[in-house]
Chains A and B, each alone.
Chain A
Amino acid sequence: MTELIGISPQLLFAQVLVGLINGAFYAVLSLGLAVIFGLLNIINFSHGAMYMVGAFCSWLGMQYLGINYWAALILAPVVVGVIGLLIERTLLRRIQHEDHLYSLLLTFGLALMLEGIFVELFGVSGQRYPVPDLLNGGINLGFMFLPIYRAWVVAAAVVVCFTVWYLIERTKLGAYLRAGTENQALVQAFGINVPMMRNLTYGFGVGLAAFAGVLAAPIYSVAPHMGSSIIIVVFAVVVIGGMGSVLGAIITGLGLGVIEGLTRVFYAEISNTVIFIVMAIVLLLRPAGLFGRQS
């Protein structure tokens, strides 16, 4: 293949891949945020911190307990999920009838505390996490070199996203969740234990963030601030996709990752801000987001 408007295809594909990887993280993280926002009406500012704790869980597990990557992929979300259950049960539930701002501040405060604790314990610099043996190396596709681990991240994220989408849109459990998003009191008046459902949803949402953290560990270094740097972009993704829309979160996450990657090729100067530019445009044209229900 020759040059395309003065840009080498190698560079183009490489950036699309980087975009897809970032997009995979955006998708999984914004999916968890969307699910939590949908049912609990909480803008979970500690989502980035949970992603970071998930990454640290896998690193600590490997370092001190000899737990390998594959086990961490299951265990870290479970551990963080349980932390989420406790946070919801002991803190968030107390302020569920208060204004949005309270839960926003509370989760923001939690994020700062978690980051502070990890900085105190491990310093600000990152810890390296090796790529698991099975996923080492890469494939030469002819037009580009594809590292296997990166392909795995995109595939794993896509599978998880669509599994969650299926659960929510196509099952009875998901119907409770969707109905609860609209009218919790009525769902509870039908005999469903809504407080427990909120609790499990929060745990599940932050568990998803931890899953993304484990996926991220071998790519980015495991560092206390890894969450706060990605979460701002993820919030923009959620706003663009439409608050609380599951499909919106997934598609927007992946799409914006790719847009970001392409921007790096064609106009690198704005690659760090392009998502916010898109956000501004979307908010002007469709205030409820691309997939949100316009009221």
Chain B
Amino acid sequence: MQSQPKAPLSESDKSYEQLRISDLHAYYGESHVLHGIDLQVRRGEMVTLLGRNGAGRTTTIRSIMGLVDRRSGSIVVNGTETVHMSPHRIARLGIGYCPEERGIFASLSAEENLNLPPTLRSGGMSLEEIYELFPNLKDRRKSQGSKLSGGEQQMLAIARILRTGANFLLLDEITEGLAPVIVEALGRVVRLLKERGYTVVMAEQSFAFAGPLADRHYVIEHGQVVECVEAHELDSKRDLLESYLSV
């Protein structure tokens, strides 16, 4: 086993570095997609990766999980250098990954999907807690993954990583293509995660969804971080952000 993160979250832990990425380059086959990303996330922080389509947000998240063909630079998670580790060992550092395409297994039932990810640490949510948070999933638990609606699949993709005890979540565009009422429900879930002290990195198209909750926003363009905006600067830099993100 890798060195476990220390005691549970307390005020003094706020400076604990959950993630530090330095000079990250990532490649799919021959194509060089990330060109030196630098960012840091402290424990309990919620951070967004903003950018236009194709900017490199998904690739950044996949790089953290070790899911790109090749990467170089440094990705330190919980004090452990992970840039040469395989995905399953990275996950075991306590990371929960919710992929952009949601990754619900079509041949498994909703409940099998929910129970699939192995427990990584103690303190994960119980099945009751999860069904309380996502009542729809309880009604649909016997349904095949392929039969769930887009919103249900998204809920399930988040729910199943909350069961594992992961305290560091990577959420890739969880609101993409969903109806406003579902986006609202996801907003409540994300707020709860923040209250419970989860560390969260979210890829988003705009700051509309996570803006009010996030501690910091990184704007990514052409595989580089072009702007870092702290929560208290959001108002003063709003125009700048808009110009980066407008299509």
Taking each of A176, A182, A194, A293, which has the highest tally of chain B beta carbons within 10 Å of its own beta carbon? A182
Closest Cβ neighbor of A185 among chain B residues: B67
Which one of B37-45, B48-56, B109-117 contacts A?
Answer: B109-117
A193: Cβ under 8 A from any B Cβ: yes
Question: Which residues of chain B are near A190, meaning CB under 8 Å?
Answer: 88, 91, 97, 116-118, 161, 164
Q: How long is the Cα–Cα vector from A193 to B105 in the complex, in angstroms?
A: 18
Q: Which residue of B lies closest to A97 (CB)?
A: B69
B23-79 residues at the A interface, CB under 8 angstroms? 65-67
Shortest CB-to-CB span from A145 to chain B, Å, is: 44
B106 interfacial contact with A, CB 8 Å: yes
Q: Which of A140-192 contact B (CB under 8 A)?
A: 172, 175-176, 178-179, 181-183, 185-192
Q: Please measure, in the bound complex, the distance between the C-alpha atom of A189 and the C-alpha atom of B92, giving whole angstroms.
A: 9
A191 to B168, CA, bound (A): 14
Residue of B nearest to A178 (CB): B107
Q: Is B87 an interface residue, CB under 8 A from the partner?
A: yes
> Which among A172, A187, A194 has the greatest number of chain B C-beta atoms within 10 A?
A187
Partner among A182, A183, A191, A293 whose Cβ is within 8 Å of the Cβ of B118 = A191
**What is the minimal beta-carbon distance from B155 to any residue of chain A, in angstroms?**
17
Cβ proximity bits B82-113 to A, threshold 8 Å, 1 near / 0 not: 00001110111000010100010111100010
| Chain B residues in 8 Å Cβ range of A189 | 65-67, 87-88, 90-91, 97, 99
Q: Return the contact of B87 from the options A176, A178, A188 (Cβ within 8 A).
A: A188
* CB <8 Å contact, A182 and B88: no
Is A195's beta carbon under 8 Å from chain B? yes
- A-side contacts of B103, CB under 8 Å: 183, 186
Residue pair B88, A193 in contact (C-beta under 8 Å) = yes
Complex Cα–Cα for A184 and B153 (A):
18
A192 to B115, CA, bound (A): 13
What number of residue pairs across chains A and B have CB atoms under 8 A from each other?
A: 60
Is A172 within 8 A of B115, CB to CB? yes
The CA-CA distance from A162 to B103 in the complex, in Å, is 29
- Bound-state Cα–Cα, A185 to B62, Å: 10
Q: Which residues of A contact B65 (CB under 8 A)?
A: 189
Q: Which residue of A lies closest to B161 (CB)?
A: A190
Given contacts A185-B67, A186-B99, contact A192 B105 (CB under 8 A): no
Expressed in whole angstroms, the Cα–Cα distance for A185 and B90 within the complex equals 13
The tally of residues in A whose CB lies under 8 Å from a CB in B reads: 20
Pairwise interchain contact A194-B88, C-beta atoms closer than 8 A? yes
- B99 proximity list for chain A (CB < 8 A): 186, 189
| A193 cross-chain contacts in B, Cβ below 8 A | 88
**Interface membership of B120, Cβ < 8 A:** yes
A176 to B164, alpha carbons, bound, how many Å?
A: 15
Question: Taking A185-B67, A189-B65, A190-B97 as contacts, is the C-beta distance between A179 and B116 under 8 angstroms?
Answer: yes
- Give the Cβ gap from B29 to chain A, nearest Cβ, in Å: 11
Among A176, A183, A187, A191: residue with most chain B CB under 10 A: A191
CA–CA, A293 and B105, complex, Å? 14
Which residue of chain B lies nearest to A176 when distances are taken between CB atoms in the complex? B116
Point out the residue from A175, A178, A195 that lies within 8 Å of B115, measured CB to CB: A175
Most chain A C-beta atoms within 10 Å of own C-beta, residue among B66, B88, B90, B120: B88
In angstroms, how far is the closest chain A Cβ from the Cβ of B136? 21
B105 touches which of A182, A185, A191, A195 (Cβ 8 Å) = A182
> Do B88 and A188 touch (CB < 8 A)?
yes
Q: How far is the CB of B156 from chain A (nearest CB, A)?
A: 13
Verify B107–A182 contact, CB threshold 8 A: yes
By a CB distance below 8 angstroms, the chain B residues around A178 are 105, 107-108
Which residues of the partner chain A approach B97 to less than 8 Å between Cβ atoms?
Answer: 186, 189-190
Q: A194 CA to B111 CA in the complex, in Å?
A: 21
| A179/B120 in contact, CB under 8 A | no
Q: Which parts of A210-256 form the interface with B (CB within 8 Å)? A: none
- 19 pairs of residues in contact across A and B, judged by CB atoms under 8 Å: A175-B116, A178-B108, A181-B107, A182-B106, A182-B107, A185-B87, A186-B103, A187-B116, A188-B91, A189-B65, A189-B88, A189-B91, A190-B116, A190-B164, A191-B88, A191-B92, A191-B117, A191-B164, A192-B88
Top 4 A-B residue pairs of the complex, sorted by shortest distance between their CB atoms: A191-B91, A190-B117, A188-B87, A186-B103
Interface residues of A (CB under 8 A from B): 172, 175-176, 178-179, 181-183, 185-195, 293
12 A-B pairs besides A175-B115, A185-B87, A189-B65 with CB distance below 8 A are A175-B112, A178-B108, A179-B105, A186-B99, A188-B86, A188-B91, A189-B67, A189-B88, A190-B161, A191-B117, A192-B118, A193-B88
